[in-house]
Structure 1
Amino acid sequence: MDSDLFHVSTLKEHYNLKDSKWYEILTLCKNGMSEQFKLDSGSDLNVISLYTLKKLGYSINDLTPSNVRAQSFCGNYLTILGSIEMLWSYKGCNYLIKFVISKNDCQSVLSKDTCESLKLIKRVYCLNIDNYSDLFHGVGKLPRKYKIILKDNVCPSVCPVRKIPLGIRDKLKSELEKMENMEIIRKVSHPTPWVNAIVLPAKKDGSVRVCLDPRPLNLAIRRAHYPLPTLTEIATKLHGAKYFSKLDARSGFWMVQLDDESADLCTFGTPFGRYQFLRLPYGISCASEVFHAKIR
Protein backbone atom coordinates (compact mmCIF):
# COMPACT_ATOMS: atom_id res chain seq x y z
CA MET A 1 0.00 0.00 0.00
CA ASP A 2 1.31 3.44 -0.87
CA SER A 3 2.01 5.62 2.16
CA ASP A 4 0.10 8.83 2.71
CA LEU A 5 2.00 12.13 2.69
CA PHE A 6 1.06 14.76 5.27
CA HIS A 7 2.53 18.15 6.06
CA VAL A 8 3.84 19.53 9.35
CA SER A 9 4.91 23.17 9.56
CA THR A 10 6.88 22.90 12.81
CA LEU A 11 9.85 20.56 13.18
CA LYS A 12 11.74 22.10 16.07
CA GLU A 13 11.32 25.39 17.87
CA HIS A 14 12.39 27.00 21.10
CA TYR A 15 9.46 28.20 23.16
CA ASN A 16 9.16 31.97 23.35
CA LEU A 17 7.01 33.51 26.06
CA LYS A 18 5.93 36.25 23.65
CA ASP A 19 4.35 33.58 21.42
CA SER A 20 2.52 31.83 24.29
CA LYS A 21 -0.88 32.35 22.65
CA TRP A 22 0.15 29.76 20.04
CA TYR A 23 0.96 27.17 22.71
CA GLU A 24 -1.38 25.28 25.01
CA ILE A 25 -0.88 22.82 27.88
CA LEU A 26 -2.88 19.58 27.96
CA THR A 27 -3.00 17.02 30.79
CA LEU A 28 -2.58 13.30 30.11
CA CYS A 29 -5.43 11.39 31.76
CA LYS A 30 -3.27 8.28 32.25
CA ASN A 31 -0.97 9.78 34.88
CA GLY A 32 -1.74 13.50 35.20
CA MET A 33 1.41 14.58 33.37
CA SER A 34 1.26 17.79 31.34
CA GLU A 35 2.67 18.58 27.92
CA GLN A 36 2.98 21.87 26.09
CA PHE A 37 1.81 21.78 22.45
CA LYS A 38 2.35 24.13 19.55
CA LEU A 39 -0.94 25.06 17.86
CA ASP A 40 0.01 24.46 14.24
CA SER A 41 -2.73 25.42 11.79
CA GLY A 42 -0.42 24.37 8.96
CA SER A 43 -0.05 20.80 10.19
CA ASP A 44 -2.07 17.79 9.04
CA LEU A 45 -0.83 15.63 11.93
CA ASN A 46 -0.54 15.59 15.71
CA VAL A 47 3.15 14.93 16.42
CA ILE A 48 5.26 14.14 19.48
CA SER A 49 8.84 12.92 19.58
CA LEU A 50 10.05 9.55 20.86
CA TYR A 51 11.72 11.39 23.74
CA THR A 52 8.39 12.99 24.74
CA LEU A 53 6.59 9.64 24.39
CA LYS A 54 8.94 8.03 26.91
CA LYS A 55 8.71 11.06 29.20
CA LEU A 56 4.91 10.62 29.27
CA GLY A 57 5.26 7.01 30.45
CA TYR A 58 4.95 5.11 27.18
CA SER A 59 7.40 2.96 25.25
CA ILE A 60 7.98 2.21 21.60
CA ASN A 61 6.19 -1.12 22.14
CA ASP A 62 2.93 0.80 22.67
CA LEU A 63 2.97 2.09 19.10
CA THR A 64 0.84 0.92 16.20
CA PRO A 65 2.68 0.58 12.87
CA SER A 66 1.96 3.48 10.51
CA ASN A 67 2.62 4.05 6.81
CA VAL A 68 2.31 7.81 7.22
CA ARG A 69 4.99 10.06 5.77
CA ALA A 70 5.40 13.55 7.24
CA GLN A 71 7.07 16.44 5.44
CA SER A 72 7.93 19.86 6.81
CA PHE A 73 7.23 23.18 5.08
CA CYS A 74 10.82 23.20 3.81
CA GLY A 75 10.53 19.71 2.36
CA ASN A 76 12.40 17.81 5.09
CA TYR A 77 11.00 14.43 6.12
CA LEU A 78 10.38 13.20 9.68
CA THR A 79 11.18 9.60 10.57
CA ILE A 80 7.82 8.24 11.78
CA LEU A 81 8.06 5.27 14.17
CA GLY A 82 4.33 4.61 14.50
CA SER A 83 1.14 6.06 15.96
CA ILE A 84 -0.67 6.00 19.30
CA GLU A 85 -3.99 7.21 20.72
CA MET A 86 -3.88 9.06 24.04
CA LEU A 87 -6.64 10.43 26.26
CA TRP A 88 -6.00 14.06 27.20
CA SER A 89 -7.86 16.51 29.41
CA TYR A 90 -8.40 20.16 28.53
CA LYS A 91 -10.70 22.61 30.34
CA GLY A 92 -12.70 19.86 32.03
CA CYS A 93 -13.25 17.74 28.91
CA ASN A 94 -11.46 14.60 27.77
CA TYR A 95 -10.26 14.13 24.19
CA LEU A 96 -8.91 10.98 22.54
CA ILE A 97 -6.16 12.24 20.24
CA LYS A 98 -4.12 10.21 17.76
CA PHE A 99 -0.44 11.12 17.47
CA VAL A 100 2.34 10.05 15.16
CA ILE A 101 5.67 9.54 16.89
CA SER A 102 8.74 11.13 15.35
CA LYS A 103 12.23 9.80 15.86
CA ASN A 104 13.40 13.38 15.33
CA ASP A 105 13.64 15.77 18.27
CA CYS A 106 10.72 18.10 17.59
CA GLN A 107 8.19 20.38 19.25
CA SER A 108 4.96 18.61 20.26
CA VAL A 109 2.32 19.70 17.74
CA LEU A 110 -1.47 19.75 17.56
CA SER A 111 -2.84 19.73 14.01
CA LYS A 112 -5.34 22.17 12.58
CA ASP A 113 -8.21 19.67 12.88
CA THR A 114 -7.42 18.90 16.53
CA CYS A 115 -7.06 22.61 17.32
CA GLU A 116 -10.52 23.19 15.86
CA SER A 117 -12.00 20.23 17.77
CA LEU A 118 -10.64 21.60 21.06
CA LYS A 119 -11.81 25.11 20.06
CA LEU A 120 -8.25 26.40 20.32
CA ILE A 121 -8.56 28.16 16.96
CA LYS A 122 -11.47 29.09 14.75
CA ARG A 123 -11.86 29.84 11.08
CA VAL A 124 -12.81 33.23 9.75
CA TYR A 125 -15.08 32.63 6.78
CA CYS A 126 -15.63 36.20 5.63
CA LEU A 127 -14.24 39.68 5.97
CA ASN A 128 -15.98 43.00 5.52
CA ILE A 129 -14.51 44.51 2.35
CA ASP A 130 -17.02 47.34 1.92
CA ASN A 131 -14.41 49.95 2.84
CA TYR A 132 -12.12 48.76 0.00
CA SER A 133 -14.66 47.40 -2.48
CA ASP A 134 -12.77 48.88 -5.46
CA LEU A 135 -9.84 46.56 -4.70
CA PHE A 136 -12.01 43.47 -5.03
CA HIS A 137 -13.80 44.30 -8.27
CA GLY A 138 -12.73 43.31 -11.76
CA VAL A 139 -9.17 42.49 -12.86
CA GLY A 140 -6.36 44.79 -11.83
CA LYS A 141 -3.62 46.19 -14.06
CA LEU A 142 0.08 45.94 -13.33
CA PRO A 143 2.16 48.94 -14.47
CA ARG A 144 3.80 49.04 -17.90
CA LYS A 145 2.59 47.07 -20.89
CA TYR A 146 4.51 43.97 -21.86
CA LYS A 147 5.95 43.41 -25.33
CA ILE A 148 6.30 39.84 -26.61
CA ILE A 149 9.63 39.49 -28.45
CA LEU A 150 9.87 37.04 -31.36
CA LYS A 151 12.94 35.24 -32.68
CA ASP A 152 14.46 36.42 -35.96
CA ASN A 153 13.17 35.15 -39.32
CA VAL A 154 10.04 33.52 -37.94
CA CYS A 155 7.17 32.71 -40.30
CA PRO A 156 3.75 33.73 -38.90
CA SER A 157 1.13 31.03 -38.44
CA VAL A 158 -2.59 31.29 -39.17
CA CYS A 159 -4.62 28.45 -37.66
CA PRO A 160 -8.04 27.74 -39.17
CA VAL A 161 -11.05 28.27 -36.93
CA ARG A 162 -11.84 25.02 -35.17
CA LYS A 163 -15.30 23.55 -35.31
CA ILE A 164 -17.23 24.32 -32.13
CA PRO A 165 -20.00 21.87 -31.12
CA LEU A 166 -23.43 23.48 -31.30
CA GLY A 167 -24.05 22.57 -27.66
CA ILE A 168 -21.39 24.98 -26.39
CA ARG A 169 -21.55 27.75 -28.99
CA ASP A 170 -23.84 29.88 -26.83
CA LYS A 171 -21.52 29.33 -23.85
CA LEU A 172 -18.56 30.44 -25.95
CA LYS A 173 -20.36 33.55 -27.13
CA SER A 174 -21.36 34.41 -23.55
CA GLU A 175 -17.78 34.01 -22.31
CA LEU A 176 -16.41 36.14 -25.16
CA GLU A 177 -18.88 38.91 -24.32
CA LYS A 178 -17.92 38.70 -20.65
CA MET A 179 -14.20 38.91 -21.42
CA GLU A 180 -14.80 41.78 -23.84
CA ASN A 181 -16.72 43.73 -21.19
CA MET A 182 -13.83 43.12 -18.76
CA GLU A 183 -11.41 44.49 -21.40
CA ILE A 184 -9.48 41.22 -21.44
CA ILE A 185 -10.07 40.79 -25.18
CA ARG A 186 -11.34 42.92 -28.05
CA LYS A 187 -12.82 42.10 -31.43
CA VAL A 188 -10.62 42.91 -34.42
CA SER A 189 -11.24 43.39 -38.12
CA HIS A 190 -7.80 44.49 -39.34
CA PRO A 191 -5.44 41.88 -40.87
CA THR A 192 -3.10 40.15 -38.40
CA PRO A 193 -0.16 37.91 -39.39
CA TRP A 194 -0.85 35.53 -36.50
CA VAL A 195 -4.15 33.78 -35.76
CA ASN A 196 -4.15 31.20 -32.97
CA ALA A 197 -6.56 28.38 -32.24
CA ILE A 198 -8.47 28.09 -28.95
CA VAL A 199 -9.50 25.28 -26.62
CA LEU A 200 -12.59 25.39 -24.41
CA PRO A 201 -12.24 23.40 -21.17
CA ALA A 202 -15.37 23.26 -19.04
CA LYS A 203 -15.60 25.11 -15.73
CA LYS A 204 -17.19 23.65 -12.60
CA ASP A 205 -20.25 25.89 -13.04
CA GLY A 206 -20.90 24.51 -16.54
CA SER A 207 -19.55 27.48 -18.48
CA VAL A 208 -16.43 27.29 -20.66
CA ARG A 209 -12.98 28.81 -20.32
CA VAL A 210 -11.49 30.44 -23.41
CA CYS A 211 -7.85 29.35 -23.61
CA LEU A 212 -5.38 30.17 -26.32
CA ASP A 213 -3.65 27.25 -28.06
CA PRO A 214 -0.47 29.12 -29.02
CA ARG A 215 1.83 26.21 -29.86
CA PRO A 216 3.15 27.74 -33.12
CA LEU A 217 3.53 31.13 -31.42
CA ASN A 218 5.38 29.63 -28.44
CA LEU A 219 8.00 28.20 -30.79
CA ALA A 220 8.63 31.72 -32.08
CA ILE A 221 8.78 33.57 -28.74
CA ARG A 222 12.14 34.69 -27.40
CA ARG A 223 11.87 34.09 -23.67
CA ALA A 224 13.59 36.14 -20.98
CA HIS A 225 14.14 33.05 -18.77
CA TYR A 226 13.43 34.91 -15.56
CA PRO A 227 14.35 32.64 -12.58
CA LEU A 228 11.29 31.49 -10.64
CA PRO A 229 11.66 31.29 -6.83
CA THR A 230 11.85 27.86 -5.20
CA LEU A 231 9.95 26.84 -2.07
CA THR A 232 13.22 26.72 -0.13
CA GLU A 233 14.08 30.31 -1.12
CA ILE A 234 10.64 31.51 -0.06
CA ALA A 235 10.82 29.65 3.26
CA THR A 236 14.19 31.25 4.02
CA LYS A 237 12.73 34.73 3.52
CA LEU A 238 9.92 33.90 5.96
CA HIS A 239 12.36 33.28 8.81
CA GLY A 240 11.29 35.25 11.87
CA ALA A 241 7.93 36.27 10.42
CA LYS A 242 4.93 36.25 12.77
CA TYR A 243 1.93 37.13 10.64
CA PHE A 244 0.93 35.43 7.41
CA SER A 245 -1.77 36.01 4.81
CA LYS A 246 -2.93 33.69 2.07
CA LEU A 247 -3.85 35.58 -1.09
CA ASP A 248 -5.07 34.15 -4.37
CA ALA A 249 -3.76 36.04 -7.39
CA ARG A 250 -6.95 35.31 -9.27
CA SER A 251 -6.55 35.74 -13.03
CA GLY A 252 -3.00 36.88 -12.28
CA PHE A 253 -1.70 36.71 -15.85
CA TRP A 254 -4.60 38.90 -16.99
CA MET A 255 -3.21 41.70 -14.82
CA VAL A 256 -0.31 42.04 -17.29
CA GLN A 257 -1.27 44.40 -20.14
CA LEU A 258 0.00 43.78 -23.67
CA ASP A 259 1.09 46.43 -26.14
CA ASP A 260 -0.68 46.62 -29.52
CA GLU A 261 1.90 44.53 -31.41
CA SER A 262 1.74 41.78 -28.79
CA ALA A 263 -2.06 41.87 -28.86
CA ASP A 264 -1.89 41.21 -32.62
CA LEU A 265 0.27 38.16 -31.90
CA CYS A 266 -2.41 36.87 -29.53
CA THR A 267 -5.26 37.03 -32.04
CA PHE A 268 -7.53 33.99 -32.18
CA GLY A 269 -10.36 32.87 -34.41
CA THR A 270 -13.90 31.90 -33.39
CA PRO A 271 -17.17 31.24 -35.25
CA PHE A 272 -18.13 34.79 -34.21
CA GLY A 273 -15.09 36.51 -35.67
CA ARG A 274 -11.52 37.21 -34.61
CA TYR A 275 -10.56 38.50 -31.18
CA GLN A 276 -7.26 39.33 -29.56
CA PHE A 277 -6.04 39.33 -25.98
CA LEU A 278 -5.29 42.71 -24.45
CA ARG A 279 -3.84 40.96 -21.38
CA LEU A 280 -1.27 38.19 -21.09
CA PRO A 281 -3.11 34.94 -21.92
CA TYR A 282 -2.62 31.60 -20.23
CA GLY A 283 -0.61 29.19 -22.36
CA ILE A 284 2.00 31.67 -23.58
CA SER A 285 5.42 30.14 -22.85
CA CYS A 286 6.78 33.25 -21.15
CA ALA A 287 3.68 34.00 -19.06
CA SER A 288 4.91 32.65 -15.69
CA GLU A 289 8.26 34.42 -15.97
CA VAL A 290 6.72 37.73 -16.99
CA PHE A 291 4.13 37.65 -14.20
CA HIS A 292 6.66 36.80 -11.46
CA ALA A 293 9.09 39.45 -12.70
CA LYS A 294 6.37 42.10 -12.40
CA ILE A 295 5.11 41.16 -8.93
CA ARG A 296 8.46 40.39 -7.31
Structure 2
Amino acid sequence: MILDYLCEHYNGTVSQMYEVLIRGVEEHVETYDLEERLLAQMMFTGSTDQIDSVFQLYVNRKKTRESVVKAYFTEKSVAYFLERKKVDGRVFEYLESAVNQSIEKDKVPTIYLLALTYYYAGCPKLSEEQARLCRLIGGLLISEGLVFPYTRELSRHMAVPEDIMDKAMVEYIGKRDGRPELLVRILPDEEQYHSEEIRRVYQGIFVKQKVLFEGESMEYRIYDYDEGKRVLAAEGRVTCDHKLDGKENSRFALLNQMGAAQGKKDEEALKKAMEDYLKKAAVLSELFPIN
Protein backbone atom coordinates (compact mmCIF):
# COMPACT_ATOMS: atom_id res chain seq x y z
CA MET A 1 0.00 0.00 0.00
CA ILE A 2 2.84 2.38 0.86
CA LEU A 3 4.61 1.63 -2.45
CA ASP A 4 1.34 2.12 -4.36
CA TYR A 5 0.85 5.51 -2.67
CA LEU A 6 4.42 6.59 -3.42
CA CYS A 7 4.10 5.68 -7.10
CA GLU A 8 0.95 7.77 -7.41
CA HIS A 9 1.92 10.84 -5.38
CA TYR A 10 5.64 10.98 -4.54
CA ASN A 11 7.86 13.74 -5.92
CA GLY A 12 11.52 13.93 -4.96
CA THR A 13 14.96 13.88 -6.50
CA VAL A 14 15.52 12.00 -9.76
CA SER A 15 17.42 9.22 -8.00
CA GLN A 16 14.70 8.81 -5.35
CA MET A 17 11.89 8.72 -7.89
CA TYR A 18 13.84 6.27 -10.05
CA GLU A 19 14.30 3.95 -7.06
CA VAL A 20 10.54 4.09 -6.32
CA LEU A 21 9.75 3.35 -9.98
CA ILE A 22 12.07 0.34 -10.23
CA ARG A 23 10.79 -1.09 -6.94
CA GLY A 24 7.21 -0.59 -8.12
CA VAL A 25 7.91 -2.42 -11.39
CA GLU A 26 9.64 -5.28 -9.53
CA GLU A 27 6.72 -5.64 -7.12
CA HIS A 28 4.13 -5.37 -9.93
CA VAL A 29 2.56 -2.32 -8.30
CA GLU A 30 0.58 0.21 -10.36
CA THR A 31 2.97 3.07 -11.16
CA TYR A 32 0.31 5.49 -12.45
CA ASP A 33 2.06 8.39 -14.27
CA LEU A 34 5.39 8.07 -12.43
CA GLU A 35 7.30 7.16 -15.62
CA GLU A 36 6.08 10.30 -17.38
CA ARG A 37 6.69 12.58 -14.39
CA LEU A 38 10.17 11.16 -13.94
CA LEU A 39 11.02 11.56 -17.64
CA ALA A 40 9.90 15.20 -17.57
CA GLN A 41 11.95 15.89 -14.44
CA MET A 42 15.03 14.20 -15.90
CA MET A 43 14.90 16.35 -19.04
CA PHE A 44 14.16 19.53 -17.09
CA THR A 45 17.00 19.05 -14.60
CA GLY A 46 19.52 17.47 -16.99
CA SER A 47 19.90 14.41 -14.74
CA THR A 48 19.59 11.92 -17.58
CA ASP A 49 21.82 9.01 -16.55
CA GLN A 50 18.92 6.51 -16.45
CA ILE A 51 16.68 8.22 -18.98
CA ASP A 52 16.85 5.41 -21.57
CA SER A 53 15.62 2.72 -19.18
CA VAL A 54 12.83 5.00 -17.89
CA PHE A 55 11.76 5.80 -21.46
CA GLN A 56 11.61 2.10 -22.33
CA LEU A 57 9.39 1.46 -19.32
CA TYR A 58 7.24 4.40 -20.37
CA VAL A 59 6.66 3.28 -23.97
CA ASN A 60 6.24 -0.40 -23.03
CA ARG A 61 3.86 0.07 -20.09
CA LYS A 62 1.91 3.29 -20.58
CA LYS A 63 -0.09 5.24 -23.12
CA THR A 64 2.46 7.78 -24.25
CA ARG A 65 2.05 11.50 -24.74
CA GLU A 66 3.39 12.82 -28.05
CA SER A 67 5.00 15.89 -26.47
CA VAL A 68 6.99 13.73 -24.03
CA VAL A 69 8.16 11.36 -26.77
CA LYS A 70 9.26 14.31 -28.94
CA ALA A 71 11.08 15.89 -26.00
CA TYR A 72 12.95 12.63 -25.34
CA PHE A 73 14.15 12.28 -28.93
CA THR A 74 15.09 15.95 -29.03
CA GLU A 75 17.19 15.35 -25.93
CA LYS A 76 18.88 12.36 -27.58
CA SER A 77 19.48 14.32 -30.80
CA VAL A 78 21.13 17.12 -28.83
CA ALA A 79 23.32 14.61 -26.98
CA TYR A 80 24.36 12.99 -30.26
CA PHE A 81 24.96 16.09 -32.39
CA LEU A 82 26.01 18.81 -29.95
CA GLU A 83 27.69 16.67 -27.28
CA ARG A 84 28.90 13.90 -29.64
CA LYS A 85 27.65 11.12 -27.36
CA LYS A 86 26.69 7.64 -28.55
CA VAL A 87 22.97 6.93 -28.73
CA ASP A 88 20.85 3.87 -29.46
CA GLY A 89 20.11 3.08 -33.11
CA ARG A 90 16.39 3.36 -32.39
CA VAL A 91 16.88 7.12 -32.13
CA PHE A 92 17.68 7.31 -35.85
CA GLU A 93 14.73 5.07 -36.71
CA TYR A 94 12.46 7.55 -34.92
CA LEU A 95 14.08 10.54 -36.65
CA GLU A 96 13.62 8.91 -40.05
CA SER A 97 9.98 8.22 -39.23
CA ALA A 98 9.46 11.80 -38.01
CA VAL A 99 10.89 13.25 -41.25
CA ASN A 100 8.87 10.88 -43.45
CA GLN A 101 5.62 11.66 -41.66
CA SER A 102 6.05 15.42 -41.94
CA ILE A 103 4.44 17.00 -44.99
CA GLU A 104 6.56 20.14 -44.64
CA LYS A 105 10.13 18.94 -44.22
CA ASP A 106 11.37 22.40 -43.32
CA LYS A 107 9.09 22.33 -40.26
CA VAL A 108 10.86 19.33 -38.75
CA PRO A 109 13.08 20.41 -35.80
CA THR A 110 16.49 21.37 -37.18
CA ILE A 111 18.27 19.28 -34.56
CA TYR A 112 16.53 16.18 -35.99
CA LEU A 113 17.89 16.92 -39.47
CA LEU A 114 21.38 17.65 -38.18
CA ALA A 115 21.55 14.50 -36.05
CA LEU A 116 20.24 12.32 -38.88
CA THR A 117 22.62 13.66 -41.54
CA TYR A 118 25.53 13.47 -39.09
CA TYR A 119 24.64 9.80 -38.62
CA TYR A 120 24.39 9.24 -42.39
CA ALA A 121 27.81 10.85 -42.90
CA GLY A 122 29.36 8.06 -40.84
CA CYS A 123 27.57 5.26 -42.71
CA PRO A 124 29.56 3.59 -45.53
CA LYS A 125 26.29 2.65 -47.25
CA LEU A 126 22.64 3.67 -47.04
CA SER A 127 19.46 1.93 -48.08
CA GLU A 128 17.55 3.39 -51.02
CA GLU A 129 15.08 5.08 -48.67
CA GLN A 130 17.85 6.44 -46.44
CA ALA A 131 19.70 7.80 -49.48
CA ARG A 132 16.51 9.57 -50.58
CA LEU A 133 16.12 11.13 -47.13
CA CYS A 134 19.80 12.08 -47.09
CA ARG A 135 19.47 13.95 -50.38
CA LEU A 136 16.28 15.66 -49.23
CA ILE A 137 17.34 16.91 -45.81
CA GLY A 138 21.01 17.32 -46.72
CA GLY A 139 20.03 19.67 -49.53
CA LEU A 140 17.69 21.56 -47.19
CA LEU A 141 20.44 22.10 -44.59
CA ILE A 142 22.96 23.22 -47.22
CA SER A 143 20.46 25.71 -48.68
CA GLU A 144 20.06 27.21 -45.19
CA GLY A 145 23.82 27.57 -44.73
CA LEU A 146 24.08 24.80 -42.13
CA VAL A 147 27.38 23.42 -43.42
CA PHE A 148 29.85 21.52 -41.21
CA PRO A 149 32.93 19.38 -41.83
CA TYR A 150 30.73 16.27 -41.88
CA THR A 151 28.76 17.78 -44.79
CA ARG A 152 31.67 16.91 -47.08
CA GLU A 153 31.40 13.27 -45.97
CA LEU A 154 27.83 13.16 -47.28
CA SER A 155 29.29 13.25 -50.81
CA ARG A 156 29.32 9.44 -50.83
CA HIS A 157 25.51 9.51 -50.62
CA MET A 158 24.48 12.73 -52.38
CA ALA A 159 25.75 15.55 -54.57
CA VAL A 160 27.48 18.22 -52.48
CA PRO A 161 28.26 21.60 -54.11
CA GLU A 162 31.85 22.08 -55.24
CA ASP A 163 32.28 25.26 -53.22
CA ILE A 164 31.83 23.11 -50.10
CA MET A 165 33.88 20.16 -51.28
CA ASP A 166 36.80 22.40 -52.25
CA LYS A 167 37.30 23.81 -48.76
CA ALA A 168 39.04 22.54 -45.66
CA MET A 169 37.04 23.14 -42.48
CA VAL A 170 37.75 23.73 -38.81
CA GLU A 171 34.96 23.07 -36.32
CA TYR A 172 34.84 24.22 -32.71
CA ILE A 173 32.10 23.34 -30.23
CA GLY A 174 31.85 26.01 -27.56
CA LYS A 175 29.18 27.95 -25.73
CA ARG A 176 26.05 29.12 -27.50
CA ASP A 177 26.75 32.75 -26.58
CA GLY A 178 30.54 32.38 -26.89
CA ARG A 179 32.83 34.52 -29.04
CA PRO A 180 35.89 32.39 -29.78
CA GLU A 181 38.95 33.88 -31.48
CA LEU A 182 40.59 32.06 -34.38
CA LEU A 183 44.26 32.49 -35.26
CA VAL A 184 45.67 30.78 -38.36
CA ARG A 185 48.75 30.54 -40.50
CA ILE A 186 49.03 28.93 -43.93
CA LEU A 187 52.08 26.71 -44.31
CA PRO A 188 54.61 26.63 -45.87
CA ASP A 189 54.45 30.37 -46.71
CA GLU A 190 53.35 32.03 -43.46
CA GLU A 191 55.31 32.05 -40.23
CA GLN A 192 53.10 34.30 -38.11
CA TYR A 193 49.53 33.62 -37.00
CA HIS A 194 46.86 36.10 -38.00
CA SER A 195 43.26 36.52 -36.90
CA GLU A 196 40.36 35.33 -39.04
CA GLU A 197 36.62 35.13 -38.45
CA ILE A 198 35.06 31.85 -37.36
CA ARG A 199 31.29 31.81 -37.90
CA ARG A 200 28.69 30.43 -35.52
CA VAL A 201 26.69 28.04 -37.69
CA TYR A 202 24.36 26.44 -35.13
CA GLN A 203 24.04 27.16 -31.42
CA GLY A 204 27.53 26.60 -29.95
CA ILE A 205 29.11 25.15 -33.11
CA PHE A 206 31.52 27.44 -34.97
CA VAL A 207 32.96 26.61 -38.40
CA LYS A 208 35.76 28.11 -40.49
CA GLN A 209 35.96 27.27 -44.20
CA LYS A 210 39.22 27.81 -46.04
CA VAL A 211 40.46 27.12 -49.56
CA LEU A 212 43.79 25.27 -49.45
CA PHE A 213 45.82 24.29 -52.48
CA GLU A 214 47.96 21.22 -52.98
CA GLY A 215 50.90 21.26 -50.54
CA GLU A 216 49.30 23.83 -48.21
CA SER A 217 48.14 23.24 -44.66
CA MET A 218 46.47 25.53 -42.15
CA GLU A 219 47.56 25.53 -38.53
CA TYR A 220 45.01 27.04 -36.18
CA ARG A 221 44.58 28.06 -32.58
CA ILE A 222 41.21 28.83 -31.04
CA TYR A 223 40.97 30.93 -27.90
CA ASP A 224 37.85 31.13 -25.76
CA TYR A 225 36.92 32.47 -22.34
CA ASP A 226 36.59 30.29 -19.25
CA GLU A 227 35.37 32.10 -16.13
CA GLY A 228 36.47 35.38 -17.67
CA LYS A 229 39.97 34.19 -18.57
CA ARG A 230 41.20 33.85 -22.16
CA VAL A 231 42.40 30.28 -22.67
CA LEU A 232 43.62 28.15 -25.57
CA ALA A 233 40.56 25.96 -26.23
CA ALA A 234 41.68 24.05 -29.34
CA GLU A 235 44.50 23.82 -31.84
CA GLY A 236 45.42 21.66 -34.79
CA ARG A 237 46.11 21.49 -38.50
CA VAL A 238 43.99 20.84 -41.58
CA THR A 239 45.27 20.06 -45.06
CA CYS A 240 44.02 20.06 -48.62
CA ASP A 241 42.01 16.89 -49.24
CA HIS A 242 40.48 16.17 -52.65
CA LYS A 243 40.19 12.41 -52.18
CA LEU A 244 36.68 12.39 -50.72
CA ASP A 245 33.97 10.62 -52.68
CA GLY A 246 32.47 13.09 -55.10
CA LYS A 247 35.34 15.56 -54.87
CA GLU A 248 38.11 13.92 -56.83
CA ASN A 249 36.72 15.24 -60.13
CA SER A 250 35.90 18.79 -59.03
CA ARG A 251 37.52 21.65 -60.90
CA PHE A 252 39.43 22.67 -57.79
CA ALA A 253 40.75 19.12 -57.39
CA LEU A 254 41.85 19.17 -61.00
CA LEU A 255 43.70 22.45 -60.42
CA ASN A 256 45.49 20.78 -57.53
CA GLN A 257 46.35 17.82 -59.73
CA MET A 258 47.85 20.22 -62.31
CA GLY A 259 49.96 21.85 -59.64
CA ALA A 260 51.16 18.51 -58.30
CA ALA A 261 51.94 17.22 -61.81
CA GLN A 262 53.82 20.39 -62.67
CA GLY A 263 55.83 20.12 -59.47
CA LYS A 264 56.77 16.54 -60.35
CA LYS A 265 57.36 17.48 -64.02
CA ASP A 266 54.89 14.77 -65.03
CA GLU A 267 53.73 15.94 -68.47
CA GLU A 268 51.24 13.11 -68.99
CA ALA A 269 49.48 13.71 -65.67
CA LEU A 270 49.47 17.47 -66.33
CA LYS A 271 47.97 16.99 -69.80
CA LYS A 272 45.25 14.66 -68.49
CA ALA A 273 44.30 17.03 -65.66
CA MET A 274 44.12 19.97 -68.08
CA GLU A 275 41.91 18.01 -70.49
CA ASP A 276 39.61 16.90 -67.67
CA TYR A 277 39.35 20.48 -66.43
CA LEU A 278 38.39 21.80 -69.87
CA LYS A 279 35.81 19.06 -70.34
CA LYS A 280 34.23 19.76 -66.97
CA ALA A 281 34.21 23.52 -67.59
CA ALA A 282 32.56 22.98 -70.99
CA VAL A 283 29.87 20.72 -69.50
CA LEU A 284 29.10 23.21 -66.72
CA SER A 285 28.88 26.15 -69.13
CA GLU A 286 26.47 24.12 -71.30
CA LEU A 287 24.28 23.08 -68.36
CA PHE A 288 24.39 26.42 -66.56
CA PRO A 289 24.82 29.16 -69.18
CA ILE A 290 25.52 32.69 -67.95
CA ASN A 291 22.97 35.14 -69.35
**Which structure has the bigger radius of gyration?**
1
Q: Which has the higher helix share?
A: 2
Normalising by structure 2, report the TM-score: 0.20
Higher relative contact order (CA 8 A, sep 6+): 1
Q: Which has the higher strand share?
A: 1
TM-score normalised by the chain length of structure 1? 0.20
